[in-house]
Amino acid sequence: MKSLTKVFFLLAFFFQFYNMIISQSIQFNSPQNGNTYTNGSSETTISVYCDYGYSLSTYPPGVVLSNYSKLITHSETFDSRYVTIPNYFYLAPGSYTWRVELWEHFLGESSYRKTAENSITFYIKHTLSVSNNFGSGSIVVDGSTTSSGTQVNKYIGDNLSVGAIDQSDGNYNRTWNSSGTNDSNWKRYPMSSSGENISGASSRNYNYTVISNDNYATIVADLKMIYSVTFQNNFGGGTITVNGQSYSAPTSPFQVVEQNAITASAQGQGLNGIVYTFTQWSDGNPYSYRTFYPSAHSTYTANFIGQPSNYGEYVNFGSEVGQPIEIYWTDNINSNVTQYQIWRRVKHNGVVGPDTHIGTVGSGVQTFTDYDYLLTSTYSDDLLWYDVRAHYSTEGTYSDPQWSAVYGEMSFSEESEPIIALEISNELPTQYEINNYPNPFNPTTTINYQLPESGFVTIKVFDILGKEVALLVNENKSAGYYKVNFDGSYLTSGVYIYTIQVNGIMQSKKMLLAK
């Protein structure tokens, strides 16, 4: 009895030892437990390579006659006795648990026995990027501020929390715009495809739900550029109206979101003895009230033509009856008003004659004597009007006519010489000069010029591109005062240049044809 018990004990020990020896391993080489898998394509599924290895039982004590393996995936079982187990699987994002089993048939046994198994869990996720539309800078991803272009791995249906941050890209400040014009919106760019707005994603902070074809998609914050816009007048000061409010020019920069509008209005104004009349904006637009749509940092200039003001001129006359008429005035306060033309208009026998330029003096003189007429105390023969026309050298313009009246009579009869004949030579010009009036004009203007000495005179008109449009004078002239009419009726509105060449001297002035 003791011998039989001993035999049973030895057999039990043998079988236990036998089972321990022949139980071998089987393990996944790929995929591996706990790993997350992605790939760099736009496919909705991700390719996963499957490979596993195992070792069979060794002899002694058992002899393996044959073996097979099983792969049990999330959806089906593959038995190596009947099918070739695939190496590649195409999986949608999700969590997967797979198992492999090793089955062996030993000598002396009637069936296969499972000798080893191994289970793993792995994860398939889409890779998404979150970026600013200018490529760099900072952005909020899942509650953390990070760099633009940050990648995250997500399941289908997962929430991706994104947030836009106002910032500078080095050239422009950028903002999440919700002004109502060209508003910001989150955009989705599938891999290798053009982007499109995400419906309902107009808020700065947005929760995006990952969809099946989001692999390697990019979610983009559409920040808008802010342009710095300044307005100024070409004469360097004055005022200008922006968005309905008056500002000193040049203005401080206004911040305008791209494709948004800003309005400005250029007003005629007076400054330092000069009256400025608007002509056009720096881009050639002739309308003083404008709506601008900036496309970059910009400075918009309102161009004006300046001409001297008559304010404070205070023209008055001498009081000695029977003496040549003396005209007095106060100089313009602007230092660039350098000369004054004296013009006369005469009403004789009820007929008003033409405006006549009778002399030019420099600034500081403030008086002129008309030796052609003598002052009378009451109306006797002629009613005389005089205009002292200030010349603004910066623009080559003159003040508008402002006539002052006095009574007088001619200082000589038809039979006699002028009573101050010796003074005639003193009234010849002392310098070369050319100017025109009116300026701006439509369509004609008179170009006045003076020569201190005789010479061959050429006067031409050019357009702003330098093309000659008129030859007005091309002949010898004696010293004196002259005028020539210019008719611009056949020309388009704009700035023109007129020039005089004589005795090696050339002068140019601008005039504006404003139809």
SS (H, E, C) 339-355: EEEEEEEEEECCEECCC
Dist. CA 36–CA 94, nearest whole Å: 10
pLDDT of residue 426: 45
Looking at residue 23, what is its pLDDT? 55
Higher pLDDT, 377 or 388: 388
The tokens 């360097």 sit on which residue? 236
Quick check: helix, strand or coil at residue 320? Answer: coil
> Rounded CA gap, 400 and 397, in Å?
9
Name the band, by pLDDT with cuts 50, 70 and 90, for residue 427.
low
Is the predicted pLDDT of residue 21 greater than 90, yes or no?
no
DSSP lists the bridge partners of residue 95 as: 123
Q: Which of these ranges, 123-137, 425-439, 466-480, 494-508, has the smallest mean pLDDT?
A: 425-439
The tokens for 339 are: 């000369």
Segment 195-231, tens digit of pLDDT = 899 999 999 999 999 998 899 999 999 999 999 999 9
Task: List the domains of the chain with CATH numbers.
Answer: 2-124 (2.60.40), 126-222 (no CATH), 226-308 (no CATH), 316-427 (2.60.40.10), 433-513 (2.60.40.3080)
Least confident of 40-54, 206-220, 309-323: 40-54
Q: Rounded CA gap, 153 and 124, in Å?
A: 9
Confidence class for position 115, pLDDT limits 50, 70, 90: very high
Q: Which of 13-17, 331-335, 410-414 has the lowest mean pLDDT?
A: 13-17
- For residue 9, is pLDDT > 50? no
Give the predicted TM-score (pTM) of the model: 0.66
Binned at pLDDT 50, 70 and 90, residue 420 comes out as very low
Q: Beta strand pairing status for 444-451 and 455-463?
A: unpaired
90 C-beta neighbours (distance < 10 Å), count: 11
Looking at residue 416, what is its pLDDT?
34
